[in-house]
């Protein structure tokens, strides 16, 4: 499979507003579909604590990624990083980031494949569903960041309209009395799990480290991060609280896809009997956009590190997509081990560990800068 990579103008800068919209779609693409059920399962009524605490914790990690990018605002991290920590440690850092982005892609792909295969395409092989998603994502990634950003601008408007339309229809049958339990249930272990789980999703925005040179972030660089993280958590909270007051945490924990049941709860006479196909179609596009962004970043890291020639760059997104397809198909043979790794939180711990990498880089940079100033004086 050969995918042609379009040449982009490296000097083209996108706005901070475009970064906010891109990140909102990234974090909300799969979170509202896949985060709700685990929150009900392991945090009950304490999930809202995790949503609130996840905001400052995730911003803590993203802040250091932004500060690190600001040390060399016109250069790419892969170029200036080795000057900070050395070539070998920098290679390890690159490998950790690639592994993190591939892991996130695999998690989203498998969740989506299970969902579509379980609900709609029952007799379709999983690798076919995964392959179609990866083909679309690889084509989008090969078209460059400009295509991904412009696509997110268009989808964002649609997502905003759909969310504005859905939520009022969902809240008409909620049980407001269930809201009392939000303040009477305080369980530290469940709050800790919810905080770790949600922080991991939002802190994925440390990818701003790799995208910063392409965005105009000279003034208030954290502003788009504040907005995107806040809006994403607000959307998650809305869907979580509506589901909680409609079905409760115990039934919600046993529903495989609580959000789908919420959407199916909406009936509008005979004109629109069921809205879930519309929701799934829009959600599928946002998921493709998310995976395309991950493939784009992984591909960029690979051909920048290995200094791959321009004519060979066209193969990198396709190779990354094929690797994801191979790993996803391989994991089908070890389903029990895969779900054990998820339920035991080892994957969460790994993703959380990688998010410390920008902090290490920034601290080393500050220490070396002070030593240089001391020697100069």
DSSP 8-state code for residue 272: B
Q: For residue range 58-113, list pLDDT tens digits in order.
A: 999 999 999 999 998 888 899 898 889 988 999 999 999 999 999 999 998 988 88
Q: Which pLDDT does position 181 carry in this prediction? A: 73
- Indicate the number of domains in the chain: 1
Q: Residue 147: which domain range?
A: 16-376
Residue 29 within a domain: yes
Buried b (16+ CB within 10 A) or exposed e, 52-91: ebbbebbbebbbbbbbbbeebeeebbbebbbebbeeebbe
Q: Which pLDDT does position 266 carry in this prediction? A: 62
Whole-number Å distance between alpha carbons of 125 and 227: 39
Residue 89 within a domain: yes
Average pLDDT, consecutive stretches of 10 residues, N- to C-terminus, the chain (377 residues):
48 82 85 78 84 93 94 88 90 95 92 82 86 93 90 85 74 70 79 88 92 84 90 87 79 74 60 65 86 94 82 84 91 80 83 94 91 72
Residue 4 within a domain: no
Residue 2 within a domain: no
Q: For residue range 195-246, list pLDDT tens digits in order.
A: 988 998 899 999 999 998 888 887 788 888 999 999 989 888 888 888 888 7
Helix and strand totals (H; E) in the chain: 17, 0
Residue 11 within a domain: no
Residue 1 within a domain: no
Its sign, for the CA torsion 64, 70, 76, 82, is negative
Whole-number Å distance between alpha carbons of 165 and 180: 27
Q: What is the CATH number of the domain that holds 216?
A: 1.10.4160.10
Query: Residue 310 contacts by C-beta under 8 Å, 6 or more apart in sequence?
Result: 7
Q: Which pLDDT does position 156 carry in this prediction? A: 86
Measured between alpha carbons, how far apart are the two ends of the chain, in Å? 58
Q: Residue 169 to residues 179, 194, 253, 256: CA-CA distances in angstroms? A: 19, 27, 22, 22
Please tell me the pTM assigned to this model. Answer: 0.89
Residue 358 within a domain: yes
Over its C-alpha atoms, the chain yields an Rg (Å, rounded) of: 21
Quote the Cα angle for 144-150-156, to 5°. Answer: 130
Backbone angles phi, psi at 3, to 5 degrees: -120, 125
Backbone angles phi, psi at 60, to 5 degrees: -60, -45
Residue 128 within a domain: yes
């Amino acid at each position: 499979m050969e995918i042609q990579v379009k040449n982009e103008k490296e000097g083209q800068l996108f706005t901070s507003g475009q970064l906010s919209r891109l990140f909102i779609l990234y974090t909300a693409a799969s979170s509202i579909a896949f985060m709700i059920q685990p929150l009900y399962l392991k945090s009950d009524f304490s999930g809202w604590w995790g949503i609130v605490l996840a905001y400052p914790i995730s911003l803590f990690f993203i802040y250091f990624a932004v500060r690190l990018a600001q040390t060399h605002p016109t250069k790419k991290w892969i170029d200036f990083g080795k000057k900070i920590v050395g070539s070998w440690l920098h290679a390890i850092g690159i490998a950790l980031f690639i592994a993190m982005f591939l892991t996130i892609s695999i998690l989203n792909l498998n969740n989506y494949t299970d969902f579509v295969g379980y609900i709609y395409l029952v007799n379709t092989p999983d690798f076919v569903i995964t392959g179609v998603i990866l083909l679309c994502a690889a084509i989008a990634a090969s078209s460059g960041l400009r295509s991904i950003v412009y696509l997110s601008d268009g989808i964002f408007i649609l997502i905003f309209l759909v969310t504005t339309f859905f939520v009022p229809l969902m809240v008409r049958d909620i049980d407001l009395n269930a809201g009392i339990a939000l303040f009477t249930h305080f369980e530290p272990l469940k709050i800790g799990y919810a905080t770790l789980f949600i922080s991991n999703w939002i802190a994925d925005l440390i990818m701003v480290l790799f995208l910063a040179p392409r965005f105009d972030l000279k003034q208030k660089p954290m502003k788009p991060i504040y907005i995107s993280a806040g809006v994403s958590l607000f959307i998650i909270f809305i869907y979580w609280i509506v589901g909680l007051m409609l079905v409760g945490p115990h039934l919600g924990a046993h529903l495989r896809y609580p959000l789908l049941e919420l959407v199916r709860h909406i009936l509008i006479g005979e004109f629109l009997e069921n809205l879930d196909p519309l929701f799934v179609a829009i959600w599928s596009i946002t998921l493709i956009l998310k995976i395309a962004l991950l493939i784009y970043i992984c591909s960029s890291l690979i051909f920048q590190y290995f200094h791959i020639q321009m004519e060979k760059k066209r193969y990198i997104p396709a190779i990354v997509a094929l690797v994801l397809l191979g790993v996803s198909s391989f994991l089908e043979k070890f389903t029990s081990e895969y779900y054990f790794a998820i339920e035991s939180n080892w994957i969460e711990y790994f993703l959380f560990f990688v998010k410390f990498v920008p902090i290490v880089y920034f601290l080393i940079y500050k220490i070396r800068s002070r030593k240089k100033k001391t020697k100069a004086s």
